[in-house]
Chains A and B, each alone.
Chain A
């Protein structure tokens, strides 16, 4: 069918701020889809409140609305734009829910807007448990027996019917809290009672357990002609019971016979046919490892995290094709963008193996429950591609950005007893892969490990292959043959060094003497069957043909790796912009990255994509082959900056600010010297290498002090410390976070926090603007509400900030970008300098209209400020105001500490804009704190700490709220979510499990875990 010519203008709803479960993959899908629609000649209107995305760039759509994704806001935009159609299946659950709301409110009918892609009826049928169950029964597709119960007796009766074990899933509890697997009558009584008690609706779903089955996913596409393909199937390393987003996943499936593969594929296709899917769909199935029995688990009738992974694993751009299907094109008519000689109606054939490992946030959220279950907890993921599973898996391990010791040794440092280790394996956490190696190290049999974990023996064999090779390396001479074998199994130089008691440099030298270099193979969707020009490569140490011909006149850009707390999608945005500027300047851009969710790892973004770990080893191998003009490290966050000195040491040309300049800002002593020489104030402070030193320093600089490790991300292990007892705790944490690195101890200055991004050509400094933080110092800048232009600074303070930023930029000969943070107290103090593009770059780019990362790249490539159209000094302040507000994923992480502190906690951000500060703030609050809520009640529940804050109480009363102090959990029973307008917890130690917090988070009541936030908001709104 040709494309629909009756529509001209299409509105697309994005997924909004990033939360756990809905992350960068929707930036990737959304950008691809919008470009795909524009390619077909449609006018695209985009609505997304997340500024940190490529999707909201002005080149992606004809009109971009950085506005809240709420009924009011979206309705107003639709009324103004009057699109012919709306495409809701690309914005995750947020986009879908919005489409449903618009439809229910009659907005779509009112403006005669056609819904494209899979219909709302289908979406409902797939997502509503009962309708889905009914459909599966009609199709004779097996699903695990389940029943919704309100009494324990019903639960027991049902379990007796279907047989144990059963899964108890309490309805509407935070992160599935209170659920569990009951293996017998007694455990069902315990878990069932607890689940019913915790569920606000006294409701549990009792489901026959298929825990331990193989979890298999198919990414399926269907067009309006009813043609269907399976783009990719994937097998979870972790058995059913762990969310696929938190599972290690391999593609294609490894342990299925053709009969099983085709049976499950056929089931997936039958389901999408019955659902009348038009676009992409994810079908999850469970295969009994001991028989032919399988079950359908669930269906996601839209593009998803899994579809992003499948796209990167195969090269087949699912979102792009889904958008074309939505406007009426059929698979057999759409060109395969990879081969350009075949069509989209085919199924990719892989001639490599892919392994994905999730990135979980427990390194930062140490108090959160680490156990993995049916609620996703990962913030990001990494992917490794190899010719064997061992190689793919170890590349993913090397990409994880966790402890480098752990990555090299594979076994956790923690000295578990056997019983503890067995318990850890039975109740897996983010550490399970390393704990599996620990079990192998202890010589536990694979059968025993399989019994404990229910992980398929096939995968355990693979881990054992790795471990036995690791052991062999330590026991025998490192011959050329053994070294080659280790490399072919994906062993990094660091791992080989750890196994052989040598250094990574020794191993690198050995590889060079033995001329052992990797080759690069192409990802082409068709296993070499058709000619293809895809510039998408992965390395392997197996002998053979190197398919990657070096580019000339190229520049390498190092990406930012997995998304984690402190390093989010912002750094993918800056990476992509850097690439675009390099290309516009006439060079070839080469990207190295390992994150399958993002825009930067779409092979069409750069001239060449290397999907590789971001380690010095992998990067150097690519540089040795490509011989680029230089490497840009400023846009990949701390990941790329941390590689700078190692790259420079190997003689690689670093483009932009020199290594010396970078060290001047990152090395405590050099930085102090610089500030002193320039008469710039800094809170008094010193560095300590151990606790004794710290104890001596703290009273000298004066309590309260700020304690933090050097060279870490997002204020990890950073804390405000008031006395020596606290000091002991936090110094220990800081030392654990960055072993053998100095700990920074500074006097804590109370005041208003501000930050600037600066651009420089090495001579003159341009400042796009000053951002002010609403909350003041003590709360991580990423968790603060940022305001541009500043609303509370004096002219003198602004002048001082600009002067200091200019001085620092000139002193370090900044070429490209830097970010500088300040506190305005009795004077202006500098707190921190990041010699790279920061989290605020996309926000400021979108607000000021300057494409900062692109401009900075041009400066890095040698243009002057004047040549890129910038002037020295600060841009004049605009008339309008923009606000950036954080978004938290507390709901997904039971047990995590909630108080806002120097340690970053947010997962995403949203933007609000308006003629004045209150208007902009209100817009930003819609998708962040969801405040004010639409509830009739005006009660504000306060914890005892917040209750003592008289300013807060006054502001609440003035705002028309009734403050109520909660001192005992049972008081909460007196309130419903309808009556409560907000919850405020001002305690420094608090977590999601605290009854007051739990009340707010489980019932979606606006929740403030720092009094400074709500006070700042009320001050603005009451004004």
Chain B
């Protein structure tokens, strides 16, 4: 069955449907350059409502193993690929990508020139797109987009969940804006117990849990879409060590008075160099963000920049000058992507250790 991808500027690609073949989709079209990790990306809530393009041409190669899902539900709008690989032989294989997407009601399009699409986005910036079963006339684009595009009415959050290993060192409250499962895994690996709470939770509820630290998760959308969360974060950082990743990092920046802006076509991939300013080391990181913290705006705050991207010098890490608050734009929890940044979780644990000592 043929499928049509129409961009807001009228550019169209014709391909073959897969996944939920008849489903329609509309949203921002973005590209990811990772050569592995399609499953983790597709189930990463940060891609909520986006049409996700993979630049690597063979996707589906090792199938899906459900324990690697980063969220209970895939929340991207559509998957755009060059070639759907159906020869799955991996020992951990549980389901094909095609079946998985069909079950998740996510449409896919294959057989299109993903490189041309990527270059188009690179040159013209991230743009709106519609995935449809019929060609979309230019005159119909806006109205159809309005009908199809999902509003971010409900955050792709977990229900309240908690993970309590025996003899945990610390208790972390994780504010969920659309969390990746790997973040929880990393905190558990640091021997922390974790309570996941929706981001709308109030300070008193959090305080009642007696956390040793607060973790602000990743999540979708423009960070300025969460004005109500900023006072909470301001309050929390005066009481607890706080760490943030991706959207969490941007929100901490906003809460401390810095500004954010939209990148022309985002950073999405697993090969982004990040320079850690304290050690002078450059590490490879997994990234997935369309917005960034404005470096100039940081100067007027109590924050300092701790890491920058190696290619475009955008802000990749922040720390509060006085408070135990750290955040990174990249994804130290990996899944997908390199494990180079895992030290971030140790740093967070050290912040909690210091606080515990001070209050002992």
Do A258 and B83 touch (CB < 8 A)?
Answer: no
Q: How many angstroms between the C-alpha atoms of A389 and B60 in the bound complex? A: 14
Please state if B118 and A388 are interface contacts (CB–CB under 8 Å): no
Q: Which residue of A lies closest to B336 (CB)?
A: A258
Given contacts A527-B118, A529-B269, contact A254 B61 (CB under 8 A): yes
Report the nearest A residue to B91, measured CB to CB.
Answer: A290
Contact with B along A934-972 (1 / 0, CB 8 A): 000000000000000000000000000000000000000
Determine whether the beta carbon of A332 is less than 8 Å from that of B35.
Answer: no
Contact between chains at B56 and A351 (CB < 8 Å): yes
| B116 and A345 contact, CB distance less than 8 A | no
- B270 located at the interface, meaning its Cβ lies under 8 Å from any Cβ of chain A in the complex: yes
| A258 contacts B115, C-beta separation under 8 Å | no
- B337 adjacent to chain A (CB < 8 Å): yes
A797 at the interface (CB under 8 A from B): no
Question: With an 8 A cutoff between CB atoms, is A226 at the interface?
Answer: yes
Cβ–Cβ contact B91 & A346, under 8 A: no
Flag A287-303 by CB within 8 Å of B: 1 or 0 each.
Answer: 00111000000000000
Q: CB-CB < 8 A to A794: which residues of B?
A: none
User: In A389-435, which residues have CB < 8 Å from any B CB?
Assistant: 389
Q: What residues of B have a CB within 8 angstroms of the CB of A388 in the complex? A: 57-58, 83
Minimum CB–CB distance from A267 to chain B (whole Å) comes to: 10
Q: With an 8 A cutoff between CB atoms, is A229 at the interface?
A: yes
A257 in contact with B273 given A341-B311, A351-B57 (CB within 8 Å): no
- B122 interface residue, CB < 8 Å from A? yes
Compute how far the CA of A226 lies from the CA of B280 in the bound complex, rounded to whole angstroms: 10
Given A342-B310, A458-B89, A542-B111, 9 more contacts at CB 8 Å?
A: A225-B281, A225-B282, A258-B40, A262-B339, A342-B311, A387-B83, A458-B61, A529-B118, A529-B122
Q: Is B249 interfacial (CB-CB < 8 Å)?
A: no
CB <8 Å contact, B89 and A346: no
User: In the complex the two chains form, is A262's CB within 8 Å of B311's CB?
Assistant: no
Knowing A261-B36, A353-B57, A528-B55 are in contact, say whether A331-B335 is a contact too (CB < 8 A).
no
User: Which chain B residues (184-216) contact chain A, with CB distance < 8 Å?
Assistant: none
Docked-complex contact A258 and B310, CB < 8 angstroms: no
Inside 8 A of B135's CB, which chain A residues have their CB?
none
Q: Is B275 an interface residue (CB 8 A)?
A: yes
The answer to whether B349 has its CB under 8 Å from any CB of chain A is no
Shortest Cβ gap from A833 to chain B (Å): 47
Query: How would residues 459 to 496 of chain A score, 1 for a CB under 8 Å from any chain B CB and 0 otherwise?
Result: 00110010000000000000000000000000000000
Interface residue tally of chain B, by bracket?
A: 35 or more
Chain A proximity mask over B97-125: 1 for CB below 8 Å, otherwise 0: 00000000000000111111011001000
- Which residue from A225, A258, A545 sits with its C-beta under 8 Å from B337? A258
A348 contacts chain B at the CB level, 8 A cutoff: yes
A161 to B68, CA, bound (A): 36
Asked if B87 is at the interface (CB within 8 A of a chain A CB), the reply is yes
A111 contacts B by Cβ under 8 Å: no
The CA-CA distance from A234 to B52 in the complex, in Å, is: 26
Task: Give 8 closest A-B pairs by Cβ, nearest first.
Answer: A544-B113, A461-B87, A258-B37, A527-B55, A347-B271, A457-B89, A349-B33, A258-B36
Quick check: A545 and B282 within 8 Å, CB to CB? no
A225 near B280 with CB under 8 A, answer yes
Query: Which of B37, B62, B111, B118 meets A528, CB within 8 Å?
Result: B118
CA distance A206 to B90 in the complex (A): 30
Task: List 19 interface pairs A-B (beta carbons < 8 Å), by A numbering.
Answer: A226-B281, A253-B36, A257-B92, A258-B34, A258-B335, A261-B35, A261-B37, A263-B339, A291-B91, A343-B273, A387-B83, A388-B57, A388-B83, A456-B89, A527-B55, A528-B118, A544-B113, A544-B116, A545-B115
Q: Is the CB of A229 within 8 A of B284?
A: yes
CB–CB A521/B115 < 8 A:
yes
Question: CB-CB < 8 A to A850: which residues of B?
Answer: none
B39 at the A/B interface (Cβ < 8 Å)? yes
Q: Which chain A residues numbered 229 to 281 have a C-beta less than 8 Å away from chain B?
A: 229-230, 252-259, 261-263, 265-266, 269
| A352 at the B interface (CB under 8 A) | yes
B233 CB to closest chain A CB (Å) equals 31
Closest chain-A Cβ to B173's Cβ sits at a distance in Å of 27
Q: What CA separation (Å) do A254 and B273 show in the bound complex? A: 24
Tell whether B229 is near chain A: CB-to-CB under 8 Å. Answer: no
Q: Is the CB of B310 within 8 A of A289?
A: no
Q: Does B72 contact A (CB under 8 A)?
A: no
Q: Does B272 contact A (CB under 8 A)?
A: yes
Q: Is A531 an interface residue (CB 8 A)?
A: yes
B338 within 8 A of partner (CB): yes
Bound complex: CA A289 to CA B91 (Å): 7
Give the number of residues in A that approach B within 8 Å (Cβ atoms). Answer: 58
B334 in contact (CB, < 8 A): yes
Instruction: Indicate if the CB atoms of A351 and B281 lie closer than 8 Å.
Output: no
Kindly list chain B residues whose C-beta atoms are within 8 Å of the C-beta of A701.
none
On whether the beta carbons of B90 and A545 are closer than 8 Å, the reply is no
Contact present for B62 and A257 (CB under 8 Å): yes
A227 in contact (CB, < 8 A): yes
User: Which of B35, B37, B39, B282 is the one whose CB lies under 8 Å from A350?
Assistant: B35
Chain B nearest CB, measured from A71 CB (Å):
40
- The interface residues of chain A lying within 8 Å CB-to-CB of B2 are none
Contact A351–B55 (Cβ < 8 Å): yes
Cβ-neighbour of B270 out of A255, A347, A389, A547 (below 8 A): A347
Please determine whether B61 and A349 come into contact, CB atoms closer than 8 angstroms: no
How far apart sit A387 and B88, CA to CA, in the bound complex (Å)? Answer: 18
B289 within 8 Å of A (CB atoms): no
Residue interface mask A440-466, B partner, CB < 8 A = 1 = 000000000000000011100110010
0/1 interface trace, chain A 551-583, chain B, CB 8 Å (1 if under): 000000000000000000000000000000000
A866 at the interface (CB under 8 A from B): no
Chain B residues closer than 8 Å to A387, beta-carbon distance: 57, 82-83
Measured between alpha carbons, how far is A256 from B92 in the docked complex, in Å? 10
Given contacts A347-B284, A521-B115, A545-B115, A526 and B33 within 8 Å (CB-CB): yes
Q: Indicate whether A350 sits within 8 Å of B113 (C-beta atoms), given known contacts A258-B39, A458-B61.
A: no
**Could you say which residues of chain A place their CB within 8 Å of the CB of B34?**
258, 349
Does B95 interact with chain A (Cβ within 8 Å)?
no
Considering only CB atoms, which chain B residue lies closest to A256 in the complex?
B36
In the bound complex, residues from chain B placing their C-beta under 8 Å from that of A543 are 113
**Residues of B close to A521: CB separation below 8 A:** 115
Q: Which chain A residue has the least Cβ–Cβ distance from B111?
A: A542
CB of B91 to closest CB in A, whole Å: 5
Residue of B at shortest CB range from A529? Answer: B33
Q: When the two chains form their complex, are residues B338 and A257 in contact, meaning their CB atoms are under 8 A apart?
A: no
B65 within 8 A of A: yes
Q: Is A528 touching B122 in the complex (CB atoms < 8 A)? A: yes
Per-residue interface assignment for chain B, residues 110 to 152, with 1 indicating a CB less than 8 Å from any chain A CB and 0 otherwise: 0111111011001000000000000000000000000000000
| A975 interface residue (CB < 8 Å to B) | no
Task: Evaluate whether A252 and B122 lie within 8 angstroms (CB atoms) in the complex, with A227-B281, A229-B284, A458-B87 already known.
Answer: no
A143 and B327 CA atoms in complex are apart in Å by 38
Interface residue ranges of B224-272 to A (CB < 8 Å): 269-272
> Within 8 Å CB of A290, what residues of B?
91
How far is it, in angstroms, between the C-alpha of A142 and the C-alpha of B115 when the chains are bound?
Answer: 39
A255, B56: Cβ atoms under 8 Å?
A: no
Task: Report which residue of A265, A290, A457, A465 has the largest number of chain B beta carbons within 10 angstroms of its beta carbon.
Answer: A265
Instruction: Say whether B61 contacts A255, CB under 8 Å.
Output: yes
Complex Cα gap A445–B194 (Å):
49
Assembly CA distance A253 to B82 (angstroms): 17
Q: Which residue of A lies closest to B83 (CB)?
A: A388
How long is the Cα–Cα vector from A529 to B311 in the complex, in angstroms? 12
Contacts of B92 in A (CB 8 A): 257
What's the least CB distance linking B41 to chain A, in Å? 9
Measured in the bound complex, the distance between the Cα atoms of B114 and A545 in whole Å is: 10
Q: Are A227 and B336 in contact, CB atoms less than 8 angstroms apart? A: no
Instruction: Give the one of B35, B58, B83, B336 with max A CB within 10 A.
Output: B35
Contacting residue for B115 out of A263, A347, A351, CB 8 A: A351
Least CB distance, A456 to chain B, in whole angstroms: 6
Task: Given A225-B281, A256-B36, A545-B115, decide whether A332 and B57 contact each other with a Cβ distance below 8 A.
Answer: no
Interfacial chain A residues near B116, Cβ < 8 Å: 544-545
Say how far A332's CB is from chain B's closest CB, in angstroms: 4
